[in-house]
């Protein structure tokens, strides 16, 4: 040994190995929050949204921190709850909804299907996580329209803008 480093190490080891228990990983129960609750709130008409109980909105704001979405989406959600003008409400709603779903993946997998807007729409609808299949058709279209609009705003390119406009014409 060198410089007495071995002695302090060995003095902490049970040489009989009687008290050594087998290591077992025990993950604590991790809470999974349902994104659908937030989606339902975001899709409410403005008038109904403004009539909701303040306690319910406070619970949503508290739970948004626990969602696995980017911080800017969480901030946009908090701003959405306080927004009063229609433009602000629409802008914040689009930002949050875009990050609630696997939007980039869905648009990437549907790439190449844009020529047939109906085919593209159904493709994106099937790929989205969480699934929007339980929503009525009008809300499904609204979600995908908001996603396409936010994608066009984020990309800033002509292709995304045209896709959004074609989808709006489609619905």
Q: Is the pLDDT of residue 22 over 50?
A: yes
> By the 8 A CB rule, do 78 and 57 touch?
no
Mean pLDDT of 47-57: 88
For residue 114, the tally of other CB atoms under 10 A from its CB is 17
Identify the CA nearest to 95 among candidates 45, 147, 141, 59: 147
pLDDT 10s digits, 101-123 = 889 888 988 888 888 999 999 99
Tokens of 142: 């609204």
What pLDDT does residue 75 have?
Answer: 92
Q: Is the peptide bond before 130 cis (omega within 30 degrees of 0)?
A: yes
Q: What is the band of 7 on the pLDDT scale with cuts at 50, 70, 90?
A: low
| Helix runs in 101-136, H state only | 103-109, 117-127
Torsion of CA 150, 154, 159, 165, to 10 degrees: 20
Distance in angstroms (rounded) separating the CA atoms of residues 28 and 168: 45
What pLDDT does residue 168 have?
Answer: 92
For residue 5, the tally of other CB atoms under 10 A from its CB is 9
Q: Is the pLDDT of residue 169 over 90?
A: yes
The 3-state DSSP class for residue 85 equals coil
Q: Report the range of poorest mean pLDDT among 13-27, 78-92, 145-159.
A: 13-27
What pLDDT does residue 30 have?
Answer: 46
Confidence (pTM): 0.72
More confident residue, 35 or 1: 35
> By the 8 A CB rule, do 169 and 161 touch?
no
Q: What is the band of 133 on the pLDDT scale with cuts at 50, 70, 90?
A: confident
> By the 8 A CB rule, do 140 and 132 touch?
yes
What pLDDT does residue 55 have?
Answer: 92
Identify the CA nearest to 129 among candidates 146, 153, 105, 111: 105
Alpha carbon separation from 73 to 2, 54, 78 (Å, rounded): 56, 21, 9
Distance in angstroms (rounded) separating the CA atoms of residues 148 and 114: 12
> By the 8 A CB rule, do 67 and 35 touch?
yes
Q: What is the band of 136 on the pLDDT scale with cuts at 50, 70, 90?
A: confident
């Amino acid at each position: 040994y060198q410089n007495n480093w071995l002695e302090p190490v060995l003095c902490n080891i049970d040489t009989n190995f009687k008290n050594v228990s087998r290591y077992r990983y025990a993950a604590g129960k991790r809470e999974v929050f349902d994104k659908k609750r937030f989606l339902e709130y975001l899709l409410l008409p403005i008038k109904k949204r403004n009539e909701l109980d303040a306690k319910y909105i406070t619970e949503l704001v508290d739970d948004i921190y626990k969602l696995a979405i980017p911080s800017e989406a969480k901030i946009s959600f908090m701003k959405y709850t306080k927004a009063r003008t229609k433009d602000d409400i629409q802008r914040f709603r689009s930002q949050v909804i875009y990050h609630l779903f696997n939007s980039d993946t869905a648009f990437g997998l549907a790439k190449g299907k844009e020529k047939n807007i109906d085919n593209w729409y159904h493709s994106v609808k099937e790929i989205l996580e969480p699934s929007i299949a339980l929503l009525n058709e009008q809300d499904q279209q609204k979600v995908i329209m908001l996603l396409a609009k936010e994608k066009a705003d984020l990309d800033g390119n002509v292709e995304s803008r045209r896709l959004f406009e074609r989808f709006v014409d489609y619905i």
